[in-house]
Chain A
């Protein structure tokens, strides 16, 4: 089984709808991250969490919120989706072994906002 899973894998929604993307990990890592990937823009950090009680904004947090329900679960919400939030979203984790700097990515969620 995959160590970092994301649900759903694909989602099509309409402008104004509330959307939640979920991430679960079995790696036992404390740190979790949400990124979005856009063609020509690379990966940009939305939010990150170093433990259950720690939430930090990344480069592009406007329009997004997160919840760290447990060490293994980190959810990303779009309160009122807009078309320019159409993108590929990745969850990632990192831990102390083999290095706190090695990030492990999930398979991604492709979100389309009409």
Chain B
């Protein structure tokens, strides 16, 4: 059973648009929710992460929105750029324990 469900599988937006990627989880014991960004030929790298004591976190153009009651969280990319074209993975874990990753979203930002 998949612990973290991610959608959509792929996304195409125009430059300047705001792509949104959604994730849902089942295990209420999870308390750490990171997003990883992966460029072709590279390993994933941490982009931004949130803990359930806040509903939103911003780092530059990247924002996580977190809804604890719905067990959902999402990544928003403001003013998207072609350089943001990558695969994005959400994940969830209980602090100090193994990660469960979503299936990934391939984002393409058209100039």
Q: Quick check: B98 and A40 within 8 Å, CB to CB?
A: no
Q: Quick check: B43 and A4 within 8 Å, CB to CB?
A: yes
A66 to chain B, nearest CB (A): 14
CB neighbours (8 Å) of A56 from chain B are 98
Chain B residue nearest in CB terms to A106: B43
CB neighbours (8 Å) of B6 from chain A are 42
Q: Quick check: B43 and A44 within 8 Å, CB to CB?
A: no
Interface set, chain A 45-67, CB cutoff 8 A to B: 45, 48, 56, 58
Query: Residues 79-114 of chain A: 1 if any B CB is under 8 Å from the residue's CB, otherwise 0?
Result: 000000000001010000000111111111000000
Query: Residues 28-53 of chain A: 1 if any B CB is under 8 Å from the residue's CB, otherwise 0?
Result: 00000101000011111100100000
Task: Please count how many residues in chain B sit with their CB below 8 Å of the partner chain's CB atoms.
Answer: 23
B19 to chain A, nearest CB (A): 18
Query: Residues 69-111 of chain B: 1 if any A CB is under 8 Å from the residue's CB, otherwise 0?
Result: 0000000000000000000010001011011111110000000
> B residues engaging A (CB < 8 A)?
6, 9, 32, 34, 36, 41-46, 49, 89, 93, 95-96, 98-104
> A residues engaging B (CB < 8 A)?
4, 33, 35, 40-45, 48, 56, 58, 90, 92, 100-108
